Amino acid sequence: MKYTKSLIFISLLSLISSYAASTTAGSAELQRLNSRWVSSFDKGNTEALMSLYTENAVVFPPSSEILEGPTAITGYLKGLKEMGITEYSISNVDTEIKGDIAYETALWEATRIGANGTIFNFEGNITNVLEKQNDGSWKIKLQSWN
């Protein structure tokens, strides 16, 4: 009986450890995706940005209509760059991965330079729902920020 309890305990510990390692690895992948998003946005590379979204992605930006698909999302992100948003950052707060779906909450900051050179700083929250692709990469399926 003691042997059976020990075996069950070791099995449970092994499962928990592998889950934690998988979640940590997934979180690191999502942080790298955020870094690629920021880098692509800051460079104005909308093609690279859109490679981080699923084909049927939906974005809920603040004070705007719901954006569905690559054309609408690309147009909106280009508009942000044209408004003078020059620097963007994303700091992960929490990530939860359930199979092929990941839920991420983060904080964002952005800088805008006005026409007269005035610098404006913005910050807020962002929520991403990501979908694991067949190749193992993650892509943004739904994104909302304030």
Q: Sheet holding 101-113: strands in order across?
A: 67-68, 53-60, 138-145, 119-132, 101-113, 85-98
Per-residue confidence (pLDDT) for residue 114, from 0 to 100: 87
Per-residue confidence (pLDDT) for residue 13, from 0 to 100: 38
Per-residue confidence (pLDDT) for residue 12, from 0 to 100: 38
Neighbours of 17 (CB within 10 A): 10
Would you report the helix, strand and coil content of the chain in percent, each value rounded to 5?
40, 40, 20
Kindly report whether the global pTM for this prediction surpasses the value 0.75. Answer: yes
Residue of 97 and 86 predicted with greater confidence:
97
Mean of the per-residue pLDDT values for the chain? 85
pLDDT at 18 over 90: no
**Token pair of 80, please?**
């942000």
User: At 7, is the pLDDT very low, low, confident or very high (cuts 50, 70, 90)?
Assistant: very low
Pairing of strands 101-113, 85-98: antiparallel
| Cα dihedral 133, 64, 112, 123 sign | negative
pLDDT digits (tens, 9 = 90+) for 92-146: 999 999 999 999 999 999 999 888 989 999 999 999 999 999 999 999 999 999 9
User: Where are any strands of DSSP class E within the chain?
Assistant: 53-60, 67-68, 85-98, 101-113, 119-132, 138-145
Second CATH level (architecture) for the domain 2-145: Roll (3.10)
Neighbours of 80 (CB within 10 A): 15
Residue of 140 and 11 predicted with greater confidence:
140
Per-residue confidence (pLDDT) for residue 67, from 0 to 100: 96
